Amino acid sequence: MDYKVRADNLRKPELLWELKLRGIPMDDTSTVQKMKAALRPLIRLESRNQSLSYPDYTFIFNDETKYIQDCVTTLMNYFTGSKAKIKFERLQSRLVHFLRRVDFLPNDQLTSEQVKLKENLLMEIPNALDILE
């Protein structure tokens, strides 16, 4: 299966992260619609291997991993019950978003405990994607 991040399936905090990662200035006062409109063409460019260069990674490891773990745990609770197409696509897109977030965590300057946490998340999220299918 082709896993993609779709801007329309992301929530505001996820949109902010995706845009900040790409160096696009947005903040909490920006509307979700404005953020989605800014992100869509960037994702299209990336899908054609024409992405812009990303700025240096500026996120804090412990904050990122805590947020990701909490969100993935919450998403896992949605796996039970009906799997309507819209729900499936939204869950899948958000899980792929979190997988990308983990993948972008820089390996340099991590403690052995942080490396292990990153490795666990890199196993947990693809497993969740498999369960979702």
pLDDT tens-digit map of 77-126: 776 655 545 577 888 899 999 999 999 998 888 899 999 999 999 999 99
In this predicted structure, what is the pLDDT of residue 109? Answer: 82
Q: Which two tokens stand for residue 36?
A: 């989605």
CA 76 to chain centre: 15
Please tell me the number of Cα atoms within 13 Å of 71 on its side-chain side: 23
pLDDT for 3 beyond 80: no
Mean pLDDT of 31-36: 96
In this predicted structure, what is the pLDDT of residue 1? Answer: 53
pLDDT for 72 beyond 50: yes
Residues 6+ apart with CB under 8 A from 4: 43, 47, 93, 96
Give residue limits of the domains in the chain.
7-132
